[in-house]
Amino acid sequence: MIGYILTTENYDQVQGQFYTPYEFFNCVQDINDIWFLFLSDQDKSQIEATEWAFILDLPTGEYIPKPSPIFPQ
């Protein structure tokens, strides 16, 4: 899965911020603790003319999820 790679500063700027009245940015960390943000084509069109447009210029990369935690049986 390909997503936008965020620095810690980028993460602090966008995490939890609303870009529409009902939609907000929700970032996730990969197996290497790198922050990622995933946007649909609709999301991209909604933010391209806003203060959040800088996100579309961030580098992209392959997201590798963290392993699921093992719960005791």
At 8, the pLDDT band (50, 70, 90 cuts) reads: very high
DSSP 32: T
- Per-residue pLDDT, 30: 97
Beta strand segments in the chain, E: 2-6, 28-29, 35-37, 60-62
- The tokens 């936008």 sit on which residue? 4
Q: Report pLDDT digits (tens) over 38-50.
A: 999 999 999 999 9
pLDDT band at 72 (very low <50, low <70, confident <90, very high): confident
